[in-house]
Structure 1
Protein backbone atom coordinates (compact mmCIF):
# COMPACT_ATOMS: atom_id res chain seq x y z
CA UNK A 1 0.00 0.00 0.00
CA UNK A 2 2.82 2.38 0.85
CA UNK A 3 4.61 1.72 -2.43
CA UNK A 4 1.49 2.31 -4.55
CA UNK A 5 0.56 5.69 -3.00
CA UNK A 6 3.45 7.77 -4.36
CA UNK A 7 3.01 6.35 -7.83
CA UNK A 8 -0.71 7.08 -7.85
CA UNK A 9 -0.18 10.65 -6.68
CA UNK A 10 2.42 11.25 -9.39
CA UNK A 11 0.16 9.80 -12.08
CA UNK A 12 -2.73 11.95 -10.87
CA UNK A 13 -0.62 15.08 -11.01
CA UNK A 14 0.53 14.36 -14.53
CA UNK A 15 -3.01 13.64 -15.66
CA UNK A 16 -4.42 16.84 -14.12
CA UNK A 17 -5.46 19.52 -16.59
CA UNK A 18 -6.41 22.92 -15.11
CA UNK A 19 -9.79 24.37 -16.09
CA UNK A 20 -8.58 27.66 -17.56
CA UNK A 21 -12.05 28.95 -18.41
CA UNK A 22 -13.22 28.49 -14.85
CA UNK A 23 -10.13 30.33 -13.54
CA UNK A 24 -10.75 33.31 -15.89
CA UNK A 25 -14.36 33.49 -14.75
CA UNK A 26 -13.29 33.64 -11.09
CA UNK A 27 -10.78 36.44 -11.82
CA UNK A 28 -13.43 38.38 -13.78
CA UNK A 29 -15.92 38.09 -10.91
CA UNK A 30 -13.29 39.33 -8.47
CA UNK A 31 -12.42 42.38 -10.58
CA UNK A 32 -16.06 43.28 -11.02
CA UNK A 33 -16.57 43.30 -7.25
CA UNK A 34 -13.94 46.09 -6.68
CA UNK A 35 -10.50 46.01 -5.08
CA UNK A 36 -9.99 43.09 -2.78
CA UNK A 37 -9.85 43.97 0.90
CA UNK A 38 -6.47 43.99 2.57
CA UNK A 39 -6.13 41.95 5.70
CA UNK A 40 -3.44 42.83 8.20
CA UNK A 41 -1.45 39.78 9.08
CA UNK A 42 0.35 39.87 12.41
CA UNK A 43 3.82 38.36 12.48
CA UNK A 44 4.12 34.95 14.10
CA UNK A 45 5.05 34.84 17.76
CA UNK A 46 8.44 33.44 16.90
CA UNK A 47 9.35 36.77 15.28
CA UNK A 48 8.31 38.91 18.29
CA UNK A 49 11.60 38.59 20.29
CA UNK A 50 13.59 39.68 17.23
CA UNK A 51 11.42 42.78 16.88
CA UNK A 52 11.89 43.57 20.55
CA UNK A 53 15.67 43.36 20.18
CA UNK A 54 15.54 45.54 17.07
CA UNK A 55 13.39 48.10 18.90
CA UNK A 56 15.75 48.17 21.90
CA UNK A 57 18.73 48.59 19.58
CA UNK A 58 17.04 51.52 17.85
CA UNK A 59 16.33 53.15 21.22
CA UNK A 60 19.96 52.79 22.33
CA UNK A 61 21.17 54.28 19.05
CA UNK A 62 18.83 57.23 19.55
CA UNK A 63 20.19 57.87 23.07
CA UNK A 64 23.81 57.66 21.85
CA UNK A 65 23.04 60.02 18.99
CA UNK A 66 21.48 62.53 21.40
CA UNK A 67 24.52 62.30 23.70
CA UNK A 68 26.91 62.85 20.80
CA UNK A 69 24.92 65.90 19.74
CA UNK A 70 25.04 67.32 23.29
CA UNK A 71 28.83 66.88 23.48
CA UNK A 72 29.29 68.47 20.07
CA UNK A 73 27.14 71.44 21.07
CA UNK A 74 29.13 71.95 24.28
CA UNK A 75 32.64 71.60 22.81
CA UNK A 76 32.22 72.87 19.30
CA UNK A 77 29.80 74.62 16.99
CA UNK A 78 26.09 74.18 17.58
CA UNK A 79 23.40 73.62 14.94
CA UNK A 80 23.18 77.33 14.15
CA UNK A 81 26.94 77.67 13.69
CA UNK A 82 27.36 79.53 16.98
CA UNK A 83 29.99 78.28 19.39
CA UNK A 84 28.67 77.26 22.78
CA UNK A 85 29.61 79.72 25.50
CA UNK A 86 32.21 78.48 27.98
CA UNK A 87 31.57 78.94 31.72
CA UNK A 88 33.11 82.11 33.12
CA UNK A 89 36.54 81.62 34.64
CA UNK A 90 38.05 83.41 37.58
CA UNK A 91 40.18 86.39 36.61
CA UNK A 92 43.40 86.80 38.55
CA UNK A 93 43.93 90.21 40.15
CA UNK A 94 47.48 91.59 39.94
CA UNK A 95 49.17 92.29 43.25
CA UNK A 96 52.60 92.98 44.64
CA UNK A 97 54.82 89.89 45.16
CA UNK A 98 53.78 88.05 48.30
CA UNK A 99 50.97 90.56 48.83
CA UNK A 100 53.48 93.00 50.38
CA UNK A 101 53.00 96.78 50.06
CA UNK A 102 55.05 98.59 47.42
CA UNK A 103 57.60 101.33 48.05
CA UNK A 104 55.03 103.92 46.93
CA UNK A 105 51.33 104.21 47.74
CA UNK A 106 49.54 107.41 46.75
CA UNK A 107 51.38 110.39 48.25
CA UNK A 108 53.44 108.12 50.55
CA UNK A 109 56.90 106.81 49.55
CA UNK A 110 59.68 105.07 51.49
CA UNK A 111 63.31 104.22 50.80
CA UNK A 112 65.87 102.29 52.85
CA UNK A 113 69.66 102.53 52.75
CA UNK A 114 72.66 101.79 54.93
CA UNK A 115 74.24 105.10 55.99
CA UNK A 116 77.57 105.77 54.19
CA UNK A 117 79.21 106.63 57.53
CA UNK A 118 78.82 103.06 58.78
CA UNK A 119 82.07 101.14 59.47
CA UNK A 120 83.38 97.61 59.91
CA UNK A 121 81.89 97.27 63.45
CA UNK A 122 78.91 99.60 63.50
CA UNK A 123 76.15 100.63 61.10
CA UNK A 124 73.14 102.89 60.76
CA UNK A 125 70.11 102.07 58.60
CA UNK A 126 68.24 105.10 57.30
CA UNK A 127 64.52 105.20 56.48
CA UNK A 128 63.56 108.08 54.22
CA UNK A 129 59.81 108.76 54.24
CA UNK A 130 58.17 111.20 51.83
CA UNK A 131 54.54 112.26 52.02
CA UNK A 132 52.70 114.63 49.70
CA UNK A 133 50.04 115.49 52.31
CA UNK A 134 49.77 115.58 56.12
CA UNK A 135 49.36 112.28 57.99
CA UNK A 136 47.07 111.88 61.00
CA UNK A 137 48.44 108.43 61.84
CA UNK A 138 51.83 106.84 61.17
CA UNK A 139 53.76 103.76 62.29
CA UNK A 140 57.26 103.13 60.93
CA UNK A 141 59.10 99.84 61.53
CA UNK A 142 62.75 99.14 60.75
CA UNK A 143 63.60 95.42 60.88
CA UNK A 144 67.29 94.46 60.99
CA UNK A 145 68.06 90.75 60.70
CA UNK A 146 69.90 89.38 63.75
CA UNK A 147 72.92 88.12 61.80
CA UNK A 148 76.62 88.62 62.43
CA UNK A 149 76.40 89.78 66.07
CA UNK A 150 73.81 92.54 65.49
CA UNK A 151 72.94 94.47 68.69
CA UNK A 152 71.01 97.73 68.90
CA UNK A 153 72.75 100.93 70.01
CA UNK A 154 70.02 103.57 69.59
CA UNK A 155 67.76 105.44 67.16
CA UNK A 156 66.65 108.92 66.13
CA UNK A 157 64.20 110.72 63.81
CA UNK A 158 64.06 114.13 62.15
CA UNK A 159 60.52 114.83 63.44
CA UNK A 160 59.96 116.11 67.02
CA UNK A 161 60.74 113.50 69.66
CA UNK A 162 57.61 114.33 71.69
CA UNK A 163 55.38 113.39 68.75
CA UNK A 164 56.42 109.71 68.73
CA UNK A 165 56.47 106.67 70.97
CA UNK A 166 59.68 104.72 70.27
CA UNK A 167 60.59 101.10 71.03
CA UNK A 168 63.44 98.67 70.26
CA UNK A 169 62.73 94.95 70.58
CA UNK A 170 63.78 91.60 69.14
CA UNK A 171 61.05 89.77 67.28
CA UNK A 172 61.13 86.79 64.93
CA UNK A 173 64.88 86.97 64.29
CA UNK A 174 64.93 90.77 63.83
CA UNK A 175 66.00 93.79 65.81
CA UNK A 176 62.88 95.95 65.46
CA UNK A 177 62.85 99.74 65.80
CA UNK A 178 59.31 101.12 65.86
CA UNK A 179 58.14 104.75 65.75
CA UNK A 180 54.43 105.39 66.39
CA UNK A 181 52.82 108.82 66.00
CA UNK A 182 51.06 109.82 69.20
CA UNK A 183 47.31 110.50 69.17
CA UNK A 184 46.41 114.08 68.22
CA UNK A 185 49.75 114.72 66.47
CA UNK A 186 50.27 115.23 62.75
CA UNK A 187 53.12 114.49 60.35
CA UNK A 188 53.43 117.39 57.91
CA UNK A 189 53.92 116.93 54.19
CA UNK A 190 57.59 116.66 53.28
CA UNK A 191 60.61 114.35 53.63
CA UNK A 192 61.37 112.78 57.01
CA UNK A 193 64.13 110.47 58.29
CA UNK A 194 64.03 107.61 60.80
CA UNK A 195 67.34 105.89 61.70
CA UNK A 196 68.28 102.76 63.67
CA UNK A 197 71.84 102.05 64.80
CA UNK A 198 73.51 98.75 65.73
CA UNK A 199 76.84 97.01 66.25
CA UNK A 200 77.76 93.95 64.21
CA UNK A 201 80.64 91.52 63.73
CA UNK A 202 83.80 92.81 62.09
CA UNK A 203 83.65 93.16 58.33
CA UNK A 204 80.99 93.84 55.74
CA UNK A 205 77.47 92.81 56.74
CA UNK A 206 74.84 91.64 54.23
CA UNK A 207 71.77 93.82 54.84
CA UNK A 208 69.64 92.32 52.04
CA UNK A 209 67.45 90.62 54.67
CA UNK A 210 66.59 93.95 56.35
CA UNK A 211 63.43 95.86 55.45
CA UNK A 212 61.13 98.66 56.54
CA UNK A 213 57.38 99.20 56.55
CA UNK A 214 55.24 102.28 57.08
CA UNK A 215 51.46 102.40 57.65
CA UNK A 216 49.71 105.75 57.59
CA UNK A 217 46.34 107.47 57.49
CA UNK A 218 46.21 110.52 55.27
CA UNK A 219 44.42 113.75 56.16
CA UNK A 220 41.70 112.73 53.69
CA UNK A 221 41.06 109.60 55.78
CA UNK A 222 42.53 107.19 53.20
CA UNK A 223 45.06 104.59 54.31
CA UNK A 224 48.50 104.04 52.75
CA UNK A 225 51.14 101.34 53.28
CA UNK A 226 54.66 101.06 51.90
CA UNK A 227 57.59 98.67 52.20
CA UNK A 228 61.24 98.78 51.08
CA UNK A 229 64.36 96.66 51.47
CA UNK A 230 68.05 97.45 52.08
CA UNK A 231 71.25 96.69 50.21
CA UNK A 232 74.60 95.51 51.46
CA UNK A 233 76.33 97.36 54.33
CA UNK A 234 79.62 99.12 53.78
Structure 2
Protein backbone atom coordinates (compact mmCIF):
# COMPACT_ATOMS: atom_id res chain seq x y z
CA UNK A 1 0.00 0.00 0.00
CA UNK A 2 2.85 2.41 0.78
CA UNK A 3 4.32 1.84 -2.67
CA UNK A 4 0.97 2.49 -4.30
CA UNK A 5 0.65 5.76 -2.42
CA UNK A 6 4.23 6.70 -3.32
CA UNK A 7 3.65 6.19 -7.05
CA UNK A 8 0.30 7.99 -6.84
CA UNK A 9 1.97 10.96 -5.13
CA UNK A 10 4.74 10.99 -7.74
CA UNK A 11 2.17 11.06 -10.54
CA UNK A 12 0.09 13.76 -8.88
CA UNK A 13 3.10 15.96 -8.13
CA UNK A 14 4.42 15.54 -11.68
CA UNK A 15 1.14 16.74 -13.14
CA UNK A 16 0.45 19.50 -10.63
CA UNK A 17 3.88 21.07 -10.98
CA UNK A 18 3.29 21.59 -14.69
CA UNK A 19 1.11 24.67 -14.39
CA UNK A 20 0.93 25.22 -18.13
CA UNK A 21 -0.36 21.68 -18.65
CA UNK A 22 -2.92 22.10 -15.88
CA UNK A 23 -4.11 25.35 -17.41
CA UNK A 24 -4.61 23.65 -20.77
CA UNK A 25 -6.43 20.76 -19.09
CA UNK A 26 -8.78 23.26 -17.45
CA UNK A 27 -9.30 25.29 -20.61
CA UNK A 28 -10.30 22.27 -22.66
CA UNK A 29 -13.52 21.34 -20.79
CA UNK A 30 -14.30 25.04 -20.29
CA UNK A 31 -14.12 25.61 -24.04
CA UNK A 32 -16.41 22.63 -24.61
CA UNK A 33 -18.91 24.14 -22.15
CA UNK A 34 -18.82 27.68 -23.54
CA UNK A 35 -19.17 26.62 -27.18
CA UNK A 36 -22.48 24.89 -26.50
CA UNK A 37 -23.76 27.11 -23.70
CA UNK A 38 -25.75 29.52 -25.89
CA UNK A 39 -27.63 26.77 -27.73
CA UNK A 40 -28.86 24.38 -25.04
CA UNK A 41 -27.77 23.61 -21.50
CA UNK A 42 -28.05 19.88 -22.16
CA UNK A 43 -25.58 20.09 -25.03
CA UNK A 44 -23.21 22.17 -22.93
CA UNK A 45 -23.27 19.61 -20.10
CA UNK A 46 -22.61 16.72 -22.48
CA UNK A 47 -19.79 18.66 -24.12
CA UNK A 48 -18.35 19.51 -20.73
CA UNK A 49 -18.31 15.84 -19.74
CA UNK A 50 -16.53 14.92 -22.96
CA UNK A 51 -14.04 17.72 -22.33
CA UNK A 52 -13.27 16.29 -18.88
CA UNK A 53 -12.90 12.82 -20.39
CA UNK A 54 -10.51 14.15 -23.04
CA UNK A 55 -8.48 16.12 -20.49
CA UNK A 56 -8.01 13.21 -18.06
CA UNK A 57 -7.30 10.74 -20.87
CA UNK A 58 -4.69 13.09 -22.31
CA UNK A 59 -3.06 13.52 -18.90
CA UNK A 60 -2.97 9.73 -18.48
CA UNK A 61 -1.47 9.30 -21.94
CA UNK A 62 1.39 11.72 -21.30
CA UNK A 63 1.95 10.50 -17.72
CA UNK A 64 2.33 6.96 -19.03
CA UNK A 65 4.82 8.05 -21.65
CA UNK A 66 6.82 10.15 -19.20
CA UNK A 67 7.11 7.24 -16.75
CA UNK A 68 8.68 4.81 -19.23
CA UNK A 69 12.25 5.81 -18.37
CA UNK A 70 11.56 5.72 -14.63
CA UNK A 71 9.83 2.33 -14.52
CA UNK A 72 12.98 0.15 -14.94
CA UNK A 73 14.67 1.91 -12.02
CA UNK A 74 11.60 1.45 -9.84
CA UNK A 75 11.47 -2.22 -10.79
CA UNK A 76 15.12 -2.60 -9.73
CA UNK A 77 14.20 -0.89 -6.45
CA UNK A 78 11.68 -3.63 -5.74
CA UNK A 79 8.45 -2.16 -7.08
CA UNK A 80 6.12 -4.73 -8.60
CA UNK A 81 4.19 -4.10 -11.83
CA UNK A 82 0.87 -3.59 -9.99
CA UNK A 83 2.52 -1.01 -7.72
CA UNK A 84 3.36 1.06 -10.79
CA UNK A 85 0.18 0.90 -12.85
CA UNK A 86 -2.27 0.97 -9.93
CA UNK A 87 -0.34 3.75 -8.20
CA UNK A 88 -0.28 5.82 -11.38
CA UNK A 89 -3.98 5.19 -11.89
CA UNK A 90 -4.75 6.40 -8.37
CA UNK A 91 -2.77 9.57 -9.02
CA UNK A 92 -4.62 10.17 -12.28
CA UNK A 93 -7.98 9.60 -10.64
CA UNK A 94 -7.04 12.14 -7.97
CA UNK A 95 -5.99 14.60 -10.67
CA UNK A 96 -9.26 14.06 -12.52
CA UNK A 97 -11.30 14.70 -9.40
CA UNK A 98 -9.36 17.89 -8.70
CA UNK A 99 -10.00 19.09 -12.26
CA UNK A 100 -13.70 18.20 -12.06
CA UNK A 101 -14.51 20.16 -8.91
CA UNK A 102 -14.51 23.67 -10.47
CA UNK A 103 -16.64 22.45 -13.38
CA UNK A 104 -19.16 20.87 -11.04
CA UNK A 105 -19.39 24.20 -9.21
CA UNK A 106 -19.84 25.88 -12.60
CA UNK A 107 -22.88 23.72 -13.39
CA UNK A 108 -24.38 24.43 -9.97
CA UNK A 109 -24.04 28.20 -10.42
CA UNK A 110 -24.80 28.47 -14.12
CA UNK A 111 -27.47 25.77 -14.50
CA UNK A 112 -29.43 25.42 -11.24
CA UNK A 113 -32.22 23.47 -12.97
CA UNK A 114 -30.06 20.38 -13.41
CA UNK A 115 -30.04 17.29 -11.25
CA UNK A 116 -26.59 18.00 -9.90
CA UNK A 117 -26.27 14.62 -8.23
CA UNK A 118 -26.46 13.10 -11.70
CA UNK A 119 -23.88 15.55 -13.00
CA UNK A 120 -21.53 14.49 -10.20
CA UNK A 121 -22.04 10.79 -10.99
CA UNK A 122 -21.42 11.45 -14.69
CA UNK A 123 -18.17 13.26 -13.87
CA UNK A 124 -17.07 10.35 -11.69
CA UNK A 125 -17.73 7.98 -14.59
CA UNK A 126 -15.73 10.22 -16.93
CA UNK A 127 -12.74 10.29 -14.59
CA UNK A 128 -13.04 6.59 -13.74
CA UNK A 129 -13.01 5.53 -17.40
CA UNK A 130 -10.60 8.17 -18.74
CA UNK A 131 -7.62 7.36 -16.50
CA UNK A 132 -7.20 3.67 -17.45
CA UNK A 133 -8.26 4.43 -21.04
CA UNK A 134 -5.47 6.98 -21.47
CA UNK A 135 -2.98 4.68 -19.76
CA UNK A 136 -3.91 1.81 -22.07
CA UNK A 137 -3.40 3.95 -25.17
CA UNK A 138 -0.11 5.20 -23.75
CA UNK A 139 1.06 1.62 -23.23
CA UNK A 140 -0.01 0.35 -26.65
CA UNK A 141 1.06 3.45 -28.61
CA UNK A 142 4.35 4.69 -27.14
CA UNK A 143 4.49 7.62 -29.57
CA UNK A 144 2.43 10.44 -28.07
CA UNK A 145 1.32 11.84 -31.43
CA UNK A 146 -0.41 8.61 -32.44
CA UNK A 147 -1.98 8.31 -28.99
CA UNK A 148 -3.30 11.87 -29.10
CA UNK A 149 -4.80 11.33 -32.55
CA UNK A 150 -6.52 8.17 -31.35
CA UNK A 151 -7.97 10.03 -28.36
CA UNK A 152 -9.18 12.79 -30.66
CA UNK A 153 -10.85 10.20 -32.89
CA UNK A 154 -12.61 8.56 -29.94
CA UNK A 155 -13.92 11.89 -28.65
CA UNK A 156 -15.08 12.90 -32.14
CA UNK A 157 -16.95 9.62 -32.59
CA UNK A 158 -18.44 10.01 -29.11
CA UNK A 159 -19.76 13.46 -30.01
CA UNK A 160 -21.20 12.47 -33.40
CA UNK A 161 -22.66 9.03 -32.77
CA UNK A 162 -26.33 8.63 -31.91
CA UNK A 163 -26.40 7.86 -28.16
CA UNK A 164 -29.58 5.82 -28.61
CA UNK A 165 -27.96 3.50 -31.15
CA UNK A 166 -26.58 0.09 -30.31
CA UNK A 167 -23.07 1.03 -31.40
CA UNK A 168 -22.97 3.94 -28.96
CA UNK A 169 -22.85 1.51 -26.04
CA UNK A 170 -19.51 0.24 -27.33
CA UNK A 171 -17.91 3.66 -26.91
CA UNK A 172 -16.02 4.21 -23.63
CA UNK A 173 -17.81 7.36 -22.46
CA UNK A 174 -21.40 6.43 -23.32
CA UNK A 175 -22.19 6.28 -19.60
CA UNK A 176 -21.71 10.03 -19.14
CA UNK A 177 -24.13 10.87 -21.95
CA UNK A 178 -26.75 8.50 -20.57
CA UNK A 179 -26.49 9.91 -17.05
CA UNK A 180 -26.45 13.45 -18.45
CA UNK A 181 -29.80 12.75 -20.11
CA UNK A 182 -31.23 11.89 -16.69
CA UNK A 183 -29.64 14.97 -15.11
CA UNK A 184 -30.65 17.45 -17.83
CA UNK A 185 -33.97 16.18 -19.18
CA UNK A 186 -35.28 14.78 -15.87
CA UNK A 187 -36.08 11.42 -17.44
CA UNK A 188 -36.77 8.20 -15.54
CA UNK A 189 -34.12 6.59 -13.34
CA UNK A 190 -33.38 3.93 -15.94
CA UNK A 191 -30.97 6.33 -17.64
CA UNK A 192 -29.06 6.78 -14.40
CA UNK A 193 -28.96 3.04 -13.73
CA UNK A 194 -27.85 2.08 -17.25
CA UNK A 195 -25.23 4.80 -17.36
CA UNK A 196 -23.79 3.93 -13.94
CA UNK A 197 -23.60 0.21 -14.74
CA UNK A 198 -21.97 0.95 -18.07
CA UNK A 199 -19.39 3.22 -16.42
CA UNK A 200 -18.54 0.60 -13.79
CA UNK A 201 -18.30 -2.19 -16.37
CA UNK A 202 -16.08 -0.22 -18.75
CA UNK A 203 -13.84 0.96 -15.89
CA UNK A 204 -13.43 -2.61 -14.62
CA UNK A 205 -12.70 -3.89 -18.14
CA UNK A 206 -10.11 -1.19 -18.76
CA UNK A 207 -8.41 -1.80 -15.41
CA UNK A 208 -8.14 -5.50 -16.20
CA UNK A 209 -6.74 -4.79 -19.65
CA UNK A 210 -4.24 -2.26 -18.26
CA UNK A 211 -3.15 -4.80 -15.65
CA UNK A 212 -2.53 -7.43 -18.33
CA UNK A 213 -0.64 -5.13 -20.71
CA UNK A 214 1.53 -3.53 -18.03
CA UNK A 215 2.28 -6.81 -16.29
CA UNK A 216 3.57 -8.33 -19.52
CA UNK A 217 5.56 -5.25 -20.51
CA UNK A 218 7.12 -4.57 -17.10
CA UNK A 219 8.11 -8.19 -16.51
CA UNK A 220 10.20 -8.31 -19.66
CA UNK A 221 12.89 -6.34 -17.80
CA UNK A 222 14.41 -4.76 -20.87
CA UNK A 223 16.87 -2.96 -18.60
CA UNK A 224 18.67 -6.30 -18.03
CA UNK A 225 21.16 -7.55 -20.61
CA UNK A 226 22.57 -11.10 -20.71
CA UNK A 227 26.26 -11.12 -21.65
CA UNK A 228 27.55 -14.00 -23.76
CA UNK A 229 29.74 -16.57 -22.01
CA UNK A 230 33.23 -17.28 -23.32
Report if TM-score (shorter chain) is over 0.5. Answer: no
**Larger helix fraction of residues:** 2
Q: Choose between structure 1 and 2 for higher RCO, CA contacts under 8 A separated by at least 6 residues.
A: 2
Short-chain TM bin: under 0.3
From the CA coordinates, give the structure whose radius of gyration is larger: 1
Structure-2-length-normalised TM-score? 0.25
